[in-house]
Structure 1
Amino acid sequence: HPKSVIGVGASSLRTICYLQAQDKVVGVEAAEKKDIPRCVYNHVFHDKFANLPVIGEGGSNGTTPNEEAISDLAPDVIFTTIDKEKADTLQQRTGVPVVCVAVYNRVFSDSFYKSIELMGKVLNKDKRATEIIDYMKKTEADLTSRVKNVTPKSAYAAGISYRGAHGFAGTEAGFPPFAILNMKNIADVNDKKGPYDIDLEKVSADQPDCIFIESNNFKMVEKDIQQNPGYFKNLKAVQNKQVFSLVSYRFYATNVELAIANCYQVGHCAYPEAFGDIDPTKKLDEITSFFVGKPVSADLAKIGCSFKKYDLAA
């Protein structure tokens, strides 16, 4: 039963926090020392992590661990999402057992469940690991059952963050909140996978029923509107006031609690009858309270990230 641990690479520290083992953490990557509300675990436990020694850069600067700093801390175990070869080298050079886990980019995925299960075992947090997996499976079943009998709507996700901020053209094929709710994502075209910049002619040609915009990138979308107001006024979703916000959930990989909250926001906006009992902001707080022990919607709203309706024709 390890008393001291560190996480190296995207998702590692987040999963430790989900498993309620953050008090065992003895060092963090430099990227984890900034207080970033969109990176929920980092924000909630910022006061603890801000005072810990640095064990590498992390974040967009890459995940090269500082072997000397890690050796000095002598943790009982290292959890990492770096590749096996690098992990073997890290174990040899520091003399600390290294456990490799997957980076999870989808919302409900076996790779996430396996990471939770394995880390739960190592951390002696099996009960919490089971709670998380049960919660996720129950949530997935709730979402899919709500849309079982609805007529699927078409949708477009705009301002999607990937390697920085993007405007209206920034979208994603296979966008998880659309996929789980069986929506027709107009960005799903044959050769595309993951985030990319779409040809705006396709959006106007397909005329999606609903448009969702990541609120943290809305200022960039506003610039697009100023440059081409006629284009936006001709979109059916804009005319019908079916444009809504999302909270960006990718920051140092997927923040699962925000991704799930976005699923409920999409469902609530696209299928109000099927999600009539859901207040997306309250649901967000309920979900973050389960994962990291604290509601965060008020803190997110302070940085312009909240669930709302947009009027792009105004």
Structure 2
Amino acid sequence: MKRFYLTFILFILANTVAFAHELTITDMFGRVVQTPTETKRVSVIGPGALRLLVYAGAQDLLVSRELFEEKIDKSIRPYTYALPDNYMELPVVSDGGPGKMPNIEKLMLAKPDVIFATGFTATQMDMITEKTHIPVVGVSYGVIGHADLKEVKNSIRLVGYITHKQARAQNIANNMAMMRKDLLARTQGEMPKLVYMASIAYKGARGFNSTERNHPSCSLLNLNNIADDKSSSNMRSTHIILQMETILKKQPEYIFYDITGFNILKNDYPKTYKLLSLLNAVKEGNVYSVMPYNWYNSNIENIFLTAYFMGKVLYPDKFSDVDIAHKADDIYNIFLDIHPYKKMVEKKNIYRRVIFEKSGFRFK
């Protein structure tokens, strides 16, 4: 009996020591996950997981990368400017892309303490943990292709907590709340203007008809996107393709064109110009290029920056104190701790008026 009690006490002590070296968290999918108290090595998989790690300021913990990250345009994803110098030298553990399972063997060889994942089901994440014996923490932007800012804030906080970057993560969450309050206050009492958010990327670049219901930049300004009263065939997604007849019937006062769609516009221009020229916003010169909203999930910093730009266009008196270049530096500093805006506008025609002519379109 004494031997039993001694064995039992040793078992309790051993497990107490084990639990002392683990954090028990609930991830964004409601999964209870145990992670090391000292996370020093991190892998990220899925659309936008790397971006969330950069927001939290923990990118120096990376021990692997996704192949997909090097295949898509870096100049319009601000977080890529904040990646560590050795990023491209890290071993590839996944092709990347929505729902694409990583290479289990390569993931194990990278030896991360924790894997942060987006775009996977709870079952898939459990399967990865079962095969690798590495905790997988699910983080999220919200429903497919649509940024839920509350979900994003909680995901950043979770990444910050696990990587011991709580102060930075909370600072981002606080600033998101303050910017939202500022934007809503500036437009309070204004009659909502009818706008169209054109060419919204969704699993890649899309054409003029691609848009999104409840676009977050519109929500921050109390604006109505002409797609807001339209239903989608996939009710889990807010992405929608509008018929040109619908856009012409609605006649938005202003059009904000996502920069990711301009190559498609260029290729389709001979076929689409005649219809585009029937839009009042095109006739009156009220079409503007804006930063990418979705590009391997949502660029959260761009959501806020685009809202300030739209505010300046639509309500110049209410936003007269806002200089977009300075505001970009402020916002990118909050999210990324760097200032890539100047480099980005040198490469892309961002936040410019778009002039449509029979011979082609140009930026002013």
In the superposition, the TM-score normalised over structure 2's length comes to 0.80
- CA distance in 1 between counterparts of 2:137 and 2:207 reads 38
Q: Are residues 1:308 and 2:346 paired? A: no
Q: Which amino acid aligns with 2:220?
A: I
- CA distance in 1 between counterparts of 2:52 and 2:246 reads 38
- Identity over aligned residues, as a percent? 30
The more displaced of 44-53 and 119-128 is 44-53
1:282 to 326, 345, 358: 326
| SS state at 2:181 partner | helix
Q: Are residues 1:121 and 2:121 paired? A: no
Name the residue aligned to 1:235. 279
Query: Structure 1 residue 155: deviation in Å?
Result: 0.5
The more displaced of 286-295 and 296-305 is 296-305
The more displaced of 48-57 and 193-202 is 193-202
- CA distance in 2 between counterparts of 1:264 and 1:120 reads 27
Name the residue aligned to 2:4. none
Q: Which runs of 5+ in 1 are unaligned?
A: none
Query: Structure 1 residue 249: deviation in Å?
Result: 2.3
8 Å CA contact retained: 2:277, 2:356: yes
Name the residue aligned to 2:231. 191
- CA distance in 2 between counterparts of 1:177 and 1:28 reads 30
| SS state at 2:63 partner | strand
The more displaced of 261-270 and 192-201 is 192-201
Q: Which amino acid aligns with 2:353?
A: K
1:73 to 110, 115, 123: 110
- CA distance in 2 between counterparts of 1:115 and 1:250 reads 17
Q: Which amino acid aligns with 2:149?
A: S
Query: Structure 1 residue 312: deviation in Å?
Result: 2.0
- CA distance in 1 between counterparts of 2:279 and 2:122 reads 48
The more displaced of 5-14 and 157-166 is 157-166
Change in CA separation of 1:232 and 1:80 when aligned onto 2, cut-off 3 Å: closer
8 Å CA contact retained: 1:8, 1:58: yes
8 Å CA contact retained: 2:146, 2:238: no
The more displaced of 21-30 and 237-246 is 237-246
- CA distance in 1 between counterparts of 2:272 and 2:129 reads 55
8 Å CA contact retained: 1:245, 1:310: yes
- CA distance in 2 between counterparts of 1:56 and 1:147 reads 44
Larger radius of gyration, structure 1 or 2? 2
- CA distance in 2 between counterparts of 1:275 and 1:108 reads 25
Q: Which runs of 5+ in 2 are unaligned?
A: 1-37, 359-364
- CA distance in 1 between counterparts of 2:197 and 2:215 reads 8
Q: Which amino acid aligns with 1:12?
A: A
1:139 to 147, 163, 179: 179
- CA distance in 1 between counterparts of 2:288 and 2:255 reads 6
In the superposition, the TM-score normalised over structure 1's length comes to 0.91
| SS state at 1:275 partner | coil
Name the residue aligned to 2:40. 3
Query: Structure 1 residue 20: deviation in Å?
Result: 0.8
Query: Structure 1 residue 103: deviation in Å?
Result: 3.3
8 Å CA contact retained: 1:238, 1:313: no
- CA distance in 1 between counterparts of 2:157 and 2:195 reads 34
- CA distance in 1 between counterparts of 2:218 and 2:263 reads 23
1:96 to 115, 119, 134: 134
- CA distance in 2 between counterparts of 1:251 and 1:228 reads 24
8 Å CA contact retained: 1:108, 1:140: no
- CA distance in 2 between counterparts of 1:107 and 1:146 reads 22
Name the residue aligned to 2:83. 45
Name the residue aligned to 1:210. 254
Query: Structure 1 residue 138: deviation in Å?
Result: 0.5
The more displaced of 274-283 and 246-255 is 274-283
8 Å CA contact retained: 2:59, 2:84: no
Query: Structure 1 residue 230: deviation in Å?
Result: 4.2
Q: Which amino acid aligns with 1:294?
A: I
The more displaced of 171-180 and 48-57 is 171-180
Q: How does 1:153-232 map to 2 (within 5 A)?
A: 153-192=193-232, 194-232=238-276
- Structure 1 segments of 4 or more deviating over 4 A? 105-108, 222-225
| SS state at 2:182 partner | helix
Query: Structure 1 residue 313: deviation in Å?
Result: 4.6
